[in-house]
Amino acid sequence: MILTRRAIMQIGAGAAVAAGLTPFMASAKKYDDALAEFTGGAEVIDGEIELTTPEIAENGNTVPVSVAAPGAAMIAIFADGNPEAEVAVFTFGPLAGSQAASTRIRLAQTQNVIAVAQMGDGSFRRVAREVKVTIGGCGG
Amino acid sequence: MATGVKPRVRAPKTATPGEVVVLKTLISHPMESGQRRDSDGNIIPRSIINRFTCTYGGETVIEMELHGAISTNPYIEFEAKVPASGEFVFTWYDDDGDVYEERAEVTVA
């Protein structure tokens, strides 16, 4: 693993032992950061939203994903094993027919796809689904 | 620079008042994530559509923020409420500053 300057900065002085940080850990941290940015550090409760993904994606370049969270103002989708954890953020307007959307995403490897919804009352809900990826979608 | 970008939208032509209609959009775009390397090992620069919006009669239906993990030729499906006759305006915003727009009129009877 080649450590970029940024990666070294992130690891910090006290964690020099973590130089062997695996790519998995590195990306998991990016998901935590991305989640914290979306929720502003608020508590996230599991459940009450729907996330539809295939169990196995033969081609990680185009994985269909549907999310539905009745009463949500915003829904964010994250992929915790991608180089960049953020995938998409949907914001629903007054004319939205439902708080639901579908799209197609890239997954670099087998990982969790996570949907986090900000509900109308400001609370956050989360659901995660593991997707097994046969061929990764980030061009090796 | 993204070339050959072509937005496509499927929306109903007619609806009943207050009906919830399904909208399907597809835009041909490479969505280069900035993670890939070419055969010489150089990173291919990121070039994606980073934002999408849909309005009906000037009111927002949905806004979407897109990241590099959205597939080539972004497909977006969602639902909208149509209170009266009007026009959907679909807008895609490219990293390079380009804006692509597509419209669909709906007659409510």
Query: What would the DSSP string read from start to end of B47-85?
Result: B-EEEEEEEETTEEEEEEEE-TTBPSS-EEEEEEEE-SS
Q: What is the tally of structural domains in chain A?
A: 1
Q: Which amino acid is at B32?
A: E
Q: Is A2 on the interface with B (CB under 8 A)?
A: no
- Candidate from A82, A96, A137 with C-beta closest to B79: A96
Binding-site residues on chain B for chain A (CB distance < 8 A): 20-22, 33, 35-37, 55-57, 59-72, 74-83
The rounded distance, in Å, linking the Cα atoms of A4 and A2 is 6
Phi-psi region of A108 (alpha: psi -120 to 50; beta: other; left: phi over 0): alpha
Q: Which domain holds residue A128?
A: 5-133
Interface confidence (ipTM) of the complex:
0.93
Check which CATH number belongs to the domain holding A13 and give it. Answer: 2.60.40.2470
Q: Is the pTM of this model over 0.90?
A: no
| pLDDT tens-digit series, residues A34-60 | 999 999 989 999 988 999 999 999 899
The answer to whether position A139 is within a domain reads no
pLDDT by residue for chain B (109 residues), tens only, comes to: 567 889 999 999 999 999 999 999 999 999 998 888 888 989 888 899 999 999 999 999 999 999 999 999 999 999 999 999 999 999 999 999 999 999 999 999 8
The answer to whether position A140 is within a domain reads no
Domains along chain B with CATH numbers: 6-108 (2.60.40.10)
The rounded distance, in Å, linking the Cα atoms of B9 and B27 is 8
The answer to whether position A26 is within a domain reads yes
| pLDDT tens-digit series, residues A62-112 | 999 999 999 999 999 999 999 899 999 999 999 999 999 999 999 999 999
